[in-house]
Amino acid sequence: MSRNFSEYYKNRGVVDTYDSQRLGGLKGKVTRKLEYVFVDMLTEIPKKQKILEIGVGTGFFSKMLAAKGNFTGLDISEEMLKKTKRILPKSKFVTGNILDLRLKDKYDKVITIRVISHFDKTKAGLALKNINKVVKKGGEVIFNLENRSIARRILRKITNWGSTYTYQYNKRDMQSLIKSSGFDNVKVFYLDHFFILPLHLINKLLFNSLEEAIFNLEMRLKHFAPFSNTLFIKCRKQYS
Ligand SMILES: C[S@@+](CC[C@H](N)C(=O)[O-])C[C@H]1O[C@@H](n2cnc3c(N)ncnc32)[C@H](O)[C@@H]1O
């Protein structure tokens, strides 16, 4: 599965349509805005720090991260990197594999969004252990996952709903994996609480007035797990 995932993003056509697909519809827009705000909030750091983003894709977060410190972007797909390098010609980018990370430097922050959810538990653990090797002691990792929430489990059982290319984890699944990969101080936030609703339709009926309201509501619900579709996690590399 993870091999297919990595191969998939090497395709030029996938790279060219990536942004429009992710930003399609109200749900896409709100989710992207939330992800952006969470990455920004959780990486609020002084400029001297070293930042590594793994799986930069088309660079949705890279520009913001590059403005916050000494930035390196990594991706397995040359095609994705070509695109992101055009937005950030002065930043450092490397081709690499999160499952076989070969970096000499160590970083204060590692950010990887919409990547680990594509891995089963064994590979997710390997990815986290690899990240641990390139994080400084006390440094932090920020990543997101698809939440194995009650709502998602019920929906999946009834309708077989959901991507077959991703795995779902809940806080408990992840906590032991994170700990055994050498991280602690785990903070978890919850996003995408309204994924079950036909938001696009409701928004149309309400004359496109829903985006701001949903976003504000999502921010208020960031500690509420049961219906959320996405987990945002921040953890710290142990000092000893
Ligand atoms: C779903 S996209 C997410 C891109 C970006 N983080 C975002 O949120 O828009 C996944 C990205 O991870 C990259 N990727 C896939 N497998 C990888 C691997 N094993 N190591 C590093 N990057 C990988 C893909 O090429 C793609 O750019």
Residue 175 to residue 180: CA distance in whole angstroms: 9
Question: Which are the contacts of 9, defined by CB distance < 8 A and separation ≥ 6?
Answer: 15, 18, 57, 75, 76, 77, 79, 80
Confidence at residue 44, expressed as pLDDT on a 0 to 100 scale: 81
Q: Are 71 and 47 in contact (CB under 8 A)?
A: no
What is the 8-class DSSP label of residue 118?
A: G
Residue 169 to residue 177: CA distance in whole angstroms: 11
Confidence at residue 180, expressed as pLDDT on a 0 to 100 scale: 95
Domain 2-237 has CATH 3.40.50.150: yes
Residue 139 to residue 227: CA distance in whole angstroms: 31
CB atoms within 10 A of CB 27: 18
Confidence at residue 160, expressed as pLDDT on a 0 to 100 scale: 63
Cβ 59 under 6 angstroms from ligand 1: no
The CA-atom distances, in angstroms, between 146 and each of 14, 90, 110 are 21, 33, 19
Mean pLDDT by 10 residues, the chain (240 residues): 76 87 80 93 84 97 95 97 95 97 96 95 96 96 91 72 73 92 95 77 71 89 89 92
Confidence at residue 3, expressed as pLDDT on a 0 to 100 scale: 58
Every domain of the chain and the residues it spans: 2-237
* Mutation probe of ligand 1 site: the residue of 1, 3, 4, 6 with most atoms within 8 A of C-beta: 6
The number of residues making up the chain comes to 240
Cβ 99 under 6 angstroms from ligand 1: yes
Cβ 76 under 6 angstroms from ligand 1: yes
Q: Which three-class secondary structure state does DSSP give residue 94?
A: strand
